[in-house]
Chains A and B, each alone.
Chain A
Amino acid sequence: MKTRFEDEKLKWIPLLILLVFFFPFVLKSATFSYKYYLYVINLAGIYMILTVGLDILSGYTGLMSLGHAAFLALGAYFSAIMVDQLGLPFELSLILTPMLVGCFGFIIGFPALRVQGIYLGLTTMGFGFIVKRLIIVFNEWTGGSAGLSVSNAKLFGWTINSDWENYFIIYFFVIIAIIIGRKIVRSKLGRAFMSIRDSEQAAIASGINLAKYKMISFFISGSFAGLAGVLFAHTSNFISTDHFDILLSIYFIVMVMIGGIGSIYGAVLGTLFIVLMENLFIPLFEDGLSKFIHLETGDFQAFIFGLIMLIFIIFQPLGLYGMWLKMRIYWKIFPFNPRKRFT
């Protein structure tokens, strides 16, 4: 018998796996410059793993984090040090690093027991700055501000060294992250998170240990980001503190929000939307435009990016997932739509 909380959506997953698996072959046959597209899509995949974790923290538990780039950085640097300098196998780092970064999430969870809302956001932002500085201070290990080159991932004797191979390894983990994320939010854990988000007082009254569940939420979110960091380090082969800027943390929150906060699929969609828009559509659009007028490239791209986002938010304040929900309701009650409610 199906309970109310049992997940029916997982029947989508085999279809998703097929789609993800055949996508690069379609891309390869469709265009010559598929390598760059794959690179961008890989980046989106890494960020997706992170935003799924961020969504569990911010969307489901209601704890704002403005420092998630720091978790990404920790994951990347831990894995790079473990594999290259301590000589551990990549497979071990793949398991150990998320755990380690999750423990850091645990530490950051301590202020969350007292501090709330925007204060917590700023605490995590401070954590982001502190981590960035510490990476530069420990320069014997991390290479300081000059950056650190990282070896390719070796998985069971198979060296992964092209965007093509990266794609499969990254999206393998993306699908696992999505499944785990869905499972978590539909379990007892996820219901506890949501009740904390909706009302802490009510959660305490119904016997939820606030401290425990907030810490668990930070741990889960941290380990997702750690996993993303491992993949980031070993697929991009070079990491420096510039990759983990404070603006990136803000972008992560924007990705989750634009997808629709409090929905795993929303986080994935939002990440795909932002990364593709920033790295593919706007440069293409600008290429088209540069035939007519001369423009400063970087600033113009940022300008269009900001403009599209602003317009999108003004017309669709609930994000992509909200748009999808509206569409679904529209078709469900199709012939009897009340007017003016669906715009």
Chain B
Amino acid sequence: MTDILTGLMQETISGVALGCIYALIALGFTLIYKATEVVNFSQGEIMMVGAYMHFFFLNQFVALTGGLNAWVFLLAFIGSVIFAVLFGIILDFIINRPLKGEPVFSIIMATISLAIILRSLTAMLAGPLSLIPISPFGDHTFILGGVVISILDISIIFSAIIMMSVFYYFFNYTKWGISMKATSADSEAAQLLGIPVNKVYRYVWIFASVVGVLSGIMLAPRMALIDTSMAFLGLKAFPAAILGGFGSIKGAIVGGIILGIIETVSLGTLSFYFPWIKEINDIIVWIVLIGVLMIRPDGLFGMAKVKRV
């Protein structure tokens, strides 16, 4: 019995870590959807680009200083964040500006083509090699009451908590965060109140890009290697965003963590005791999603839209 419990504990912890990453990717979807009603199909690709850029910066700085230390990691991190901001500005210029006022599905198509471009361009520039990433916190494990915990998971959980608190502060207490919320609630009313809606849209894209790059940096050490198939994790974060309710920040975080736990637990202990789960472990997430949507069609935290005729 205790075996099952320790197993479950262990998987829950690593599930929370995985879920935090899903939550961050889902946050990127949510932000853009909230502000512009566009489903951004390229969020997973942005995350992949982030992971590659961080690796590139790390390599460059190691070559410059000749050693791997905390400063190198910090510099690479800052470099990636600066890159993310620039990337967001570029995305705004490519996707958002030219298609202003066009139907939403045109913009969705533009994000799909952007996803294709980013995936192939990364493969072309970085070559077909898979890269082995490293974490600044190492990959030791320690044992706490019989449960083996990896430093990597703990570091991911902590940095996710820090980031989410920053986002929470940003959205609820700063001027730009509140104007983003206002724009997403009703862009015309926001414009009437003097909020520069176009600027807000640009900031939303920058924000989504930064979130995507950060989740890429966090995810990379957990993946054992980076290659372009990492982008498909973006599709796996979709159910997280949907489960919590598309367009709800709280929902993205809770949905991400729930799905992360479901995934690791069903892959580990449950499939050990119920062999048939092993065969369907990669669709359990989707079954849960469909089940939840049948009961709550707008997700766990989503609000039903009131329709006017």
Contacts and interface: CB of A to CB of B under 8 A. Distances in A.
B106 A317 contact: yes
B124 A296 contact: yes
A129 interface: yes
B282 A111 contact: no
B143 interface: no
A306 B114 contact: yes
A126 B239 contact: yes
A123 B110 contact: no
B201 interface: no
B110 A258 contact: no
A314 B99 contact: yes
Nearest to A128: B286
Contacts of A122: 238-239, 242, 289, 293
A20 interface: no
B15 to A, nearest CB: 19
Interface residues of B, number: 45
A137 B124 contact: no
Interface stretch (B49-57, B73-81, B115-123): B115-123
A269 B270 CA distance: 49
Interface string B254-270: 00000000000000000
Contacts of A317: 99, 102-103, 106
Contacts of B39: 118, 121
A58 B246 CA distance: 20
A318 B107 CA distance: 11
A119 B293 contact: yes
B98 A314 contact: yes
A317 B38 CA distance: 14
B297 interface: yes
Q: Is the contact region of chain A dominated by helix, strand, or loop, or is it mixed?
A: helix
A8 interface: no
Interface string A303-321: 1011101100110011000
Contacts of A257: 105-106, 108-109
A94 interface: no
A250 B41 contact: yes
Interface in B277-292: 279-280, 282-283, 286-287, 289-290
Nearest to A261: B105
A199 interface: yes
Interface string A230-246: 00000000000000001
Contacts of B307: 200-201
Contacts of B114: 306, 310
Interface string B185-200: 0000000000000000
Contacts of A129: 282-283, 286
A302 B109 contact: no
Contact of A119 (B103, B109, B287, B298): B298
Interface in A240-286: 246, 250, 254, 257-258, 261
Contacts of A201: 307, 309
B299 interface: yes
Interface string A167-202: 000000000000000000000000000000001111
Contacts of B94: 310
A326 B121 CA distance: 34
Given A300-B124, A307-B117, A111 B99 contact: no
Nearest to A130: B283
B275 interface: no
B265 to A, nearest CB: 18
A52 to B, nearest CB: 18
Contacts of A133: 279-280, 282-283
A302 B115 CA distance: 10
A250 B235 CA distance: 11
Nearest to B117: A306
A249 to B, nearest CB: 11
Contact of B116 (A118, A137, A296, A302): A302
Given A119-B246, A257-B106, 11 more contacts: A118-B246, A119-B299, A127-B290, A130-B283, A133-B279, A137-B279, A202-B309, A246-B235, A257-B109, A261-B105, A309-B112
Closest A-B pairs by Cβ, 10 of them? A306-B116, A126-B286, A306-B117, A302-B120, A317-B106, A309-B113, A303-B120, A317-B102, A310-B113, A299-B123
Interface of B: 33, 39, 41, 94, 98-99, 102-103, 105-106, 108-110, 112-117, 119-121, 123-124, 128, 235, 238-239, 242, 246, 279-280, 282-283, 286-287, 289-290, 293-294, 297-299, 307, 309
22 contacts: A115-B294, A118-B242, A119-B246, A119-B297, A119-B299, A122-B238, A123-B290, A129-B282, A130-B286, A130-B287, A250-B41, A257-B105, A257-B106, A261-B105, A296-B124, A302-B116, A303-B120, A303-B121, A307-B113, A310-B94, A317-B99, A318-B103
Interface of A: 111, 114-116, 118-119, 121-123, 125-127, 129-130, 133, 137, 199-202, 205, 246, 250, 254, 257-258, 261, 296, 299-303, 305-307, 309-310, 313-314, 317-318
